[in-house]
Amino acid sequence: MKRTRLPLERAVGTPQQKSLPKLRLSTLALAAAVTFGFASPDALALALGRVQVQSALGEPLRAQIDVPEITPEEVSSLKADIASPQTFRNAGLEFSPALGNDNITLQRRPDGSHFLQLASDRPINEPFVDVILEAAWTSGRVQREFTMLFDPPSLREPQAPLQAQVTPRT
C-alpha cells in the first residue's frame, strides 16, 4: 500500500473552512434585493388597524375599525364584509347571529383618516364577539380577525352630565 501525503489543510485536527465563496454569497444577496425590490406596493398598501367598540351589551353593534393607510384607488374600490359562517367554522370561531344583518361603510374623519363603520340592527347579547372581516379592492384582498368586547351599560363612561335649570324663588 502506497502512502500519499495530504496537504497541510487536510491534516488531522486542522479545522475545516465552512464559508461560502464570496461570489455565491453576493449573488444570493443580489437575488434577495431584486426580489424585495420588485414586491408590489399595492399588495401591501391596505392595512386594518384597531377596533373601537362604541356600543354596550344589549345594544345594536356600533364599532369603528381604523384604516391607517389607504390610497385613493383603494378608497374608490374597497368592499368590506363579515366573512361567511363557513369561514368562522374553518377558523374555529363561533359565528354570532347578530352579525348576520350588518352594514359596513368606509368613512372619513375630519382629520382625513379613514375607518370602517360597522353597524347592525340586532342587539349584541354576548360580552365578546369574534369577527372575521374580509376586505377586497381592485388590486388585493385582506382578511383579519377581531375580538370585540362589550361592557354592560352600567360600566360605560357616562355621557356629559345633565344640568338642571334652577329658577330662584322670589
**Mean confidence (pLDDT) of the chain:** 79
Handedness of CA 47, 52, 54, 59 (dihedral sign): positive
Q: What is the mean pLDDT of residues 63-68?
A: 93
pLDDT tens-digit map of 115-150: 999 999 899 999 999 999 999 998 889 999 999 999
47, pLDDT greater than 90: no
Most confident of 7-16, 67-76, 86-95, 146-155: 86-95
Cα dihedral 20, 21, 27, 30, rounded to 10, equals 70
